[in-house]
Structure 1
Amino acid sequence: MRITSRYFVAPTVGLLALALVACSSPAPAGTEKEAPVEKTTLRLALNQTEEHPSFIALDAFGERLLEATDGRWDIEVFPNETLGAQAETLQLVGDGVVDMAIVSGAQLENLSKDFIAFNLPTVFDSVEHQISVVNNPEVTADLYSSLADGNNISVVGGFTQGARSIYTKNAPAESPADLAGQKIRVQESELFLSLVKSLGASPTPMAFGEVYTALQSGVIDGAENNEVSYFTQKHHEVAPYFSYTKHLIGLDYLIINSGKLDGLTEEDRAAFDEAWTATYEQHTELWTEATEKAISDAEAAGATFTEVDSDAFADALEPLVDQFLTEPSQKKLYDAARDASKK
C-alpha cells in the first residue's frame, strides 16, 4: 500500500501539487545508452479511507499498470476526499486537473439520464449480476463513451457498492411507516430524492464527508449506504440502527479524462484494460470479505442490524421504475441488465 504524507495536506495544497505530472525513472545499470523511461502518474480521486476495498483494489491497479507498461504508466490514489467531494472531482476530471476518480452512479445520472437505468432499485438481483453487466462492453460501450464529447469524461467500468440500506439515530426502520418525517441524507440526484420520498422520509442532499457531523448534530436523522461505508466512516457511532431495507445495489464508476485515455498507445491501452479487469474482480472479492467484517465490527461496537418488512419496502419503491424509465435508450439498458440475470 503506497500511502504518502501528501494525503493529509489541505485540498488546496493537494491541487497545487497536481502540476507535477510526470517524472523520469533512471535506466538500469549498464544501459546508459538507452533513453530513460518516462513515467506518467495518473492522479485518482477517492472519497473513501485507506482501509476501504476501493482504495486497496485501486492501489493494486497502479502496481499492475506500472508493471504491465514497463514503468510508463502509474496510478496514485488520493483517498479521504483529499481532492474534493465527488461532485467536485467529477468536474476536475473533465477539466483535466485530476486524471481519474471514483464517482457514484448518482453523479453520472446528473450528466446523462441514461445512467438512471443502472441506478434503479429493481435492476440488479445481486452483486454478481451487477458486475457482469456494468463491466460488459457489449452492454455499456455506447453509454460509457457518451460523456466524452460534451464533458471530456470516459467511463472505464464499475465497482459494486453492495446492497444499500437505511441507518438511523433513534430506532430501526422496520417498515416505511417508521421513516415518516425523518430527515435522511441522500446523494444529489432526482432518483435518490424520489426514492427516499417514496419511503415516507424527507430526503436531505449533502456531500458524503459531511454525514458524520450531520448525524452527530441532529441535522439529519439517518442516511442510506452499505455496511462497509457505514463502518469505515464510523457512522455506526452516531446512528447505531442499521435496517436491511436493501432498496438497491449501489454502483460506483471509475472515470478518466478522455484526453488522457486517448493518449494511451494501443499497447498501453490493452495493458490498462487488462489491469482494470483484475482490479474490479479483486474489488468484488474484497467487498464480500469487508462486508462481513464491517457487520461484525459494528455489532461489537454496539450497532444493531435489523431485518425489515421487505414486501412493504418493495411495494413503496415499485413505481420508481415507470417514473424514471422514460426514454428508449434507458429502457434498452434496463432490459439488457434484466436479460443478463436470466443467463
Structure 2
Amino acid sequence: MAPLGALGGLAGCVGGNGDGATDTDTGTGGGSGGGTTARWAGTQNPDTTCWNLDGPLPEGPEGCGLVYPVFELERRLDERSDAPDLALIGSQELCSEQSCMSKLGSQVIQLGSSSVANSAKIWPENEIWSIPYTFPVHQRASIGYSFVHPTTWEEYWVPFAKKYGVLPVGFDPPGYRAHLVGTGSDPGSPVTSPADFEGRKIRTTQSDVISTAFDELGMNPITISFADTLQGMKSGVVDGLEIIPPYAVAAQITSITAQVTLTQWAPGLDPIWCRVDFLKGLSESERAAFAEVTGDLAERSIQRADRTYERFQGLSSDAPVEGSNFHTGGPDGGPVQVNWLSESQLDEWRAPVDPVDNRDLYADAIDRVHGEFTDGFFDRLHGLARESGVPDDAENFSLDAWWDDYLDLI
C-alpha cells in the first residue's frame, strides 16, 4: 500500500444480526448512505476524548491526550456516501473489555475492542504480544511497526483470522504498560524495583504471560475487572495496578494514584477487532471506504504515539510534564509521582523476564503460535522490532500494509 495518514483505537463493540444490519431498536446509523449498518458500544465515551483531525495537534500539553477514535471513525464514515453506517451505543451495553471476544466469536457483535493482553484469555495465541521486553524500551514506534508489518500479516494475522474469523482493523496509540500504586504508598519512597512491589496486590489483566512475569519478579498479581479496579484501590482490595496509562486517566484511577513506575515492559495496545465475515459481506465500495478510513486512523495512531505519551500524558524523563494528564489528574488535582527508570533500574525488571535469556518462561505461548500459525514467528517478531526500518520518531511512521491486502487469503 502507499502510505496512508490518520489514527485508531476503541474499547467497545459493534454488533448486528449477523448479516451486517443492526436491530432497529438499539441504535441508528450515521446516515452516510451506505447499505450496511454496524453497531458499536463499550467503555469509552466522547466526554473523555480529545481526538481532533480537523486542526493541527497543539505543541504543548492541554490536560487531555486521550485518543478514542471510534468517535472520529464514526464521523469520517458518516461523511462518505460509499461507507458503512456506524451506530454508537451507550457504555458497556453490549460488552466489556473482558467479554467482547466471546461476543465476537458468537456473532453477537461484528466489531469489538480489548487489549491484546485481555484478549488472550479467549484467543491464547495473543499471549505472544505480552511477553515482556519483546519490544525495545523507549521506542513506541517499534510496537506499531511490528504489529502491522507485512511479515506479521502473513505469518500471524492471516492464520489468526482463519482460526478465529477476526482481524485487527485499528488501535489506540501504542505505548507501554506501566505500574501504578495507590495513595497508601509514601511518595517519599519511590517504588522503582520489583522488590519495592513485593507483597503489594497489583491488579493485572487476564494474561497468563503477564502473571508468569509477575511471579518471576516476586510480585503479587490480582485479577479483577477493570471496571472494579477504581473501587478496589479505594477499598484496599488491590494496592495498585498494571495498565495502559491513558486508561488510568480515563477511569480516574490517577486520582487515587501516588506513583507510576515506567517499567517499559509490555506493549500497551488496544486493537479494534472485526469479524472477517462482516468485512467480506461489505460491498466493494464499502469495503474500500472502510479500509481507507481505518487504515488512515491506524497510521496516525502510531504517528501520534510519542506525543500522546510524552507531552499529553506527561510520561517522559521530565515527567510529569506541567499541564499534562499525570500532572493535573493525580490526588486532589495534583501531580502523580512519575518514576522514570535509569538503565540499571530497568535491568532489574528486564533481566529476570527478558525472553532472550528466559525463553523457557514463555515456552507455552511461543510454541502455541509456532504450532498453530507459523514456526519461528516469535523470533522474527523480536527482530522486526529492532530492524533498521523502525523510525526513531513515531511521527515518521507510514503504513505499508493493511487488512484489505490480505482479506482474499482468508
TM-score class normalised by the smaller sequence: 0.7 to 0.9
Tell me the secondary structure at the aligned position of residue 39 of structure 2: strand
The equivalent of 1:338 in structure 2 is 382
Deviates more, 1:221-230 or 1:115-124: 115-124
Structure 1 residues 342, 208: CA separation in 2 closer, same or farther (over 3 Å shift)? same
Cα distance change, pair 42–304 in 1 and its aligned pair in 2 (3 A) = same
Structure 1 stretch displaced more, 47-56 or 225-234: 47-56
Distance 1:55 1:209 in 2: 19
Q: Is the Cα–Cα contact under 8 Å of residues 234 and 256 in structure 2 kept in the other structure?
A: yes
**TM-score, normalised with respect to structure 1:** 0.81
Letter of the structure 1 residue corresponding to residue 353 of structure 2 = L
The offset of 1:112, in angstroms, is: 3.8
Could you give the per-residue CA deviations for residues 277-319 of structure 1, whole angstroms, max 9, x where no partner exists? Answer: 1112333355433423322323552421123421111123225
SS in 1 for 2:175: strand
Task: Give the CA deviation at 1:178.
Answer: 1.0
Secondary structure in structure 2 of the residue aligned to 1:323: helix
Match of 1:33 in 2: none
**How far is 1:150 from its partner?**
5.0
Give 1:317's aligned residue.
Answer: 353
| Equivalent residues of 1:105, 1:119 under 8 A apart | yes
- SS of 1:110's partner is coil
Deviation, structure 1 residue 236: 1.6
* Number of the residue aligned with 1:271: 289
User: Which amino acid is the alignment partner of residue 228 of structure 2?
Assistant: E
For 1:43, the equivalent position in structure 2 comes to 39
User: For residues 71 and 330 of structure 1, do their structure 2 counterparts lie closer, same or farther at Cα, with a shift above 3 Å needed?
Assistant: closer
Residue 82 of structure 1 deviates from its aligned partner by 3.6
User: Could you tell me whether the CA contact under 8 Å between 1:23 and 1:39 is conserved in 2?
Assistant: no
Whether the 8 Å contact between 1:43 and 1:98 is mirrored in structure 2 is yes
CA gap 1:138/1:78 in 2 versus in 1, 3 angstroms: farther
Q: What is residue 329 of structure 2 aligned with on the other side?
A: 298
**Whole-Å Cα distance in 2 between the matches of residues 24 and 273 of structure 1?**
19
The runs of 5 or more residues in structure 2 that have no matched partner are 1-12, 52-65, 315-323, 389-410
Distance 1:330 1:87, change over 3 A: farther
CA distance in 2, matches of 1:303, 1:42: 39
Match of 2:255 in 1: 237
Q: How does 1:183-202 map to 2 (within 5 A)?
A: 183-202=201-220
1:251 is aligned with what amino acid? L
> 1:131-280, aligned counterparts within 5 Å?
131-148=144-161, 151-169=164-182, 170-171=184-185, 172-280=190-298
What amino acid is the match of 1:106?
A: A
Q: If the length of structure 2 is used for normalisation, what is the TM-score?
A: 0.69
Secondary structure of the residue that 2:79 maps to in structure 1?
helix
The answer as to whether partners of 1:134 and 1:157 remain within 8 angstroms in 2 is no
Secondary structure at the counterpart of residue 87 of structure 1: coil
Q: Distance in 2 between matches of 1:78 and 1:137?
A: 34
Whether contact under 8 Å (2:37, 2:84) holds in the other structure is yes
The alignment partner of 1:19 has SS state of coil
**8 Å CA contact retained: 2:173, 2:302:** yes
Contact 2:34 2:83 in 1 (8 A): yes
Higher helix share: 1
Which whole-Å CA distance do the structure 1 matches of 2:150 and 2:142 have between them? Answer: 15
Counterpart Cα distance in 1 of 2:89 and 2:212 = 32
Counterparts of 1:247 and 1:102, CA distance in 2: 22
Is the partner of 2:85 in helix, strand or coil? Answer: strand
Counterpart position of 1:60: 72
Contact residue 27 and residue 87 of structure 2 kept, 8 A: no
Counterpart in the other structure of 1:129: 142
Q: How many Å separate the matches in 2 of 1:237 and 1:330? A: 44
| 2:96 corresponds to | 85
After superposition, the Cα gap between the structure-2 partners of 1:310 and 1:67, relative to the gap in structure 1 and judged at 3 Å, is same
Report how many aligned residue pairs link the two structures: 320
Question: Residue 184 of structure 1 aligns to a residue in which SS?
Answer: strand
Seq. identity, %: 19
> What amino acid is the match of 1:294?
N
> Which one has a larger percent strand, Structure 1 or Structure 2?
1
Of 39-48 and 232-241, the range deviating more from structure 2? 39-48
CA distance, structure 1, for counterparts of residue 102 and residue 75 of structure 2? 26
SS at match of 1:99: strand
AA at the equivalent of 1:298: G
| Cα RMSD after superposing both structures | 3.2
Q: Deviations over 1:87-114 (max 9, x none)?
A: 2121112222222111111233234443
Structure 1: state its 5+ residue gaps. 1-10, 28-36
47 and 182 in structure 1: CA distance in 2 versus 1, 3 angstrom threshold: same
Structure with the greater relative contact order (CA < 8 A, sep ≥ 6): 1 or 2? Answer: 2
Cα distance in 1 for partners of 2:328, 2:374 equals 39
What secondary structure does 2:293 align onto? helix
SS in 2 for 1:188: coil
2:391 maps to which residue?
none
